[in-house]
Amino acid sequence: MKQNANKELFESMKVSRAVRTMAVPTVVGQLIVLIYSMADTFFVGRTNNPDMVAATSLLLPVFNLSIPLAGVAGVGGGALIARLLGEGRERECSKVYSFCVYLSIILAVCFASGVFLFMDPLLTLLGANEANHAFARTYAMCVIVAGALPTILTNVFANMVRSIGESGKAGFGVTMGGIINIILDPLFMFVILPPGYEILGAGIATCLSNCITCLYFILTVFKLRHMNILRLMRPGIFPEKKSIRGVFAVGVPAAVATLLFDCDYIVLDKLMSGYGNHALAAVGIVLKAERLPLNIGIGICQAMVPIVAYNYASGDHVRMRAVANFSKRCGMICALVSIAMYECFAPYIMRFFIDEPQTVALGTDFLRIRCLATILMFLSFFHVHLFNGYGRGKEALFLGVMRWAVFNIPMLFVLNAIFGIYGLVWAQFTADALTVALSVWTHNHYLAKMKKSSNFTEN
């Protein structure tokens, strides 16, 4: 790896240390992302206005659509760059990086324009009503229409920087953006803008923090240009056709899986809105609160992928499996600890966000039920990330579609029809139990096929 100081991390560093080196800043960054994603809900919740809280909850799935869009270029390109480094092809890395940056800009502009043009029917589809429609529209204009480009570019840059072993720089950027948003939220909501404009203040704060973070990553990548890997080439210089297919082979399945994840949230919000704004506000808080272990697990998986991808491409499959197994153990321990925490402290967690009795009571029940699926959700994400590292987009797409389109979303309708509001809450656990069983079988089947074809080494 020409001028790459991270070769030891990928090839010879002790597995536990290598994973920690990549995972600690990534997990910290994910936790800050979680905190600042909850910051708007927390500060809006200080108004004790369920309509405002419901508005931010309604738009969470739409805002989260920026993640799959970024994933097309970020996840697909990042995993490919790590594999290309394992093959020693640095110039091709630069071409892939440039292609992914330009692609992400196009996707961001199209996304923001689509939301702007179809705002009202979109909000109606999400379940907005007369009480929260205006709040939801204001929030969407700030965080989605104005904020799509910096949000998507930030995610893409973070994946690219992490793919070359610079997890610390990626984690710092994400952490910095979260802290800035947490500072700006109360400033705009309660100091700069008058009462009644808290939603506008939250939206402006989120948009500004993402712009600042995006600028940080642009400067960071510029400083890393000496490594001859992440160098932005002029438009028109394309990577090999095989590389372009490689970006989409992993990026599109990752995006589809995340998109279906958001569709699951949209369906849940839509069905829950039929039980009133208290139930909608409660589940909105729960969906954010439960992301603590999920973000930790995602951070571990994101840190694992570049090392897995590099060693998969270089042929060191023993090290690859050791990294995967260590990462899985870490994620499962975190999931088990979080389940115990949520079962004990669910009411206090709800009151942290809002002090409205009916919302707190519903949210406490919801959180205690949904947290039981935490370890299953981690294992589902883990296997998809493994296949991303292998460059096996078909298997990742299969698992993503099965999890959300075949198991989760239909389960919401079925259990809601049978058990009502609590059927909606139990749907996640039921569907993910089926997903994990399928994921383990699919991964074992792939490894067995690799061994038979002599493309997989045990020593």
Burial of 360 (0-12, 13-18, 19+ CB in 10 A): buried
CA dihedral for 210, 213, 218, 221, sign (positive or negative): negative
Q: What is the pLDDT of residues 114-173, one digit of tens each?
A: 999 998 888 888 777 777 778 888 888 988 899 899 999 998 999 899 888 888 888 898
pLDDT of residue 394: 84
Kindly report the average pLDDT of the chain as a whole number.
85
C-alpha span between 180 and 172 (Å, rounded)? 12
User: What does the alpha-carbon distance between residue 386 and residue 254 come to, in Å, rounded to a whole number?
Assistant: 12
pLDDT band at 188 (very low <50, low <70, confident <90, very high): very high
Query: In angstroms, rounded to a whole number, what is the distance separating the alpha carbons of residues 145 and 63?
Result: 10
272-291 confidence digits (pLDDT tens)? 878 877 888 888 788 878 88
CA distances from 7 to 20, 205, 307, 411 (A): 16, 39, 10, 46
DSSP 453: T
What is the per-residue pLDDT for 63? 80
Q: How far is CA 401 from the centre of its chain?
A: 17
CA dist 314 and 318 (Å) reads 11
Distance CA 65, CA 76 (A): 16
How much is the pLDDT for 152?
93
Tokens of residue 426, six digits: 């139990």
Q: Which of 37-41, 128-132, 177-181 has the highest mean pLDDT?
A: 177-181
User: Where would I find the H helices in 118-166?
Assistant: 119-126, 133-140, 148-163
The average pLDDT across 403-428 equals: 89
Helices (H) and strands (E) in the chain, counts: 19, 0
| 453: confidence class by pLDDT, cuts 50, 70, 90 | low
- Mean pLDDT for 373-397 is 88
User: Average pLDDT for residues 40-47, to the nearest whole number?
Assistant: 72
Confidence label for 337 from pLDDT (cuts 50, 70 and 90): very high
Distance (Å, whole) CA 170 – CA 159 = 8
Distance CA 427, CA 369 (A): 10
Query: Cα–Cα distances in Å, from 69 out to 65, 145, 151?
Result: 7, 14, 10
- Say if residues 243 and 76 touch (Cβ distance below 8 Å): no
Give Cα 116 to chain centroid, integer Å: 23
pLDDT tens for each residue of 53-93: 777 777 777 787 788 888 888 888 888 888 888 887 888 88
Confidence of residue 457 (pLDDT cuts 50, 70, 90): low
How far apart CA 22 and CA 42 sit, in angstroms, is: 30
**From CA 363, how far away is CA 425, in angstroms rounded?**
10
User: Is residue 26 over pLDDT 90?
Assistant: no
- How long, in residues, is the chain? 459
**DSSP one-letter string for 254-313:** HHHHHHHHHHHHHHHHHHHHTT-HHHHHHHHHHHHHTHHHHHHHHHHHHHHHHHHHHHHH
Inter-residue contact 369 to 422 (CB < 8 Å): yes
Distances (CA, A) of 302 to 162, 275, 298, 318: 8, 37, 6, 20
166: CB partners within 8 A, 6+ apart? 6, 224
Query: Which residues touch 143 (CB under 8 Å, ≥6 apart)?
Result: 59, 63, 151, 203, 206, 207
Output the six-digit token pair for 272: 């829950």
241 has pLDDT over 60: yes
Examine the pLDDT at 183 and tell me if it is beyond 60: yes
Residue 356 has φ and ψ, to the nearest 5°, of -100, 120
Which pairs count as long-range contacts for 122-130, CB under 8 Å and 24+ apart, including other chains? Answer: 122/62, 123/58, 125/270, 126/58, 126/59, 126/61, 126/62, 126/266, 126/269, 126/270, 127/58, 127/269, 127/270, 127/273, 127/280, 128/55, 128/58, 129/273, 129/277
Q: What are phi and psi of 13, to 5 degrees?
A: -60, 145
Q: Are 29 and 166 in contact (CB under 8 A)?
A: no
- Position 70 scores a pLDDT of 87
Ranges 47-56, 191-200, 289-298: which has the least confidence: 47-56
* Backbone Cα Rg of the chain: 21
Tokens of 277: 């704004």
Q: Is the pLDDT of residue 189 over 90?
A: no
Let me know if 340 is exposed, middle or buried by CB neighbors in 10 A (0-12, 13-18, 19+): exposed
DSSP string across 172-213: HHHHHHHHHHHHHHHIIIIIISPTT-HHHHHHHHHHHHHHHH
Checking if the pLDDT of 207 tops 80, the result is yes
pLDDT at 78: 87
pLDDT of residue 197: 84
Asked if residue 429 has pLDDT above 70, the reply is: yes
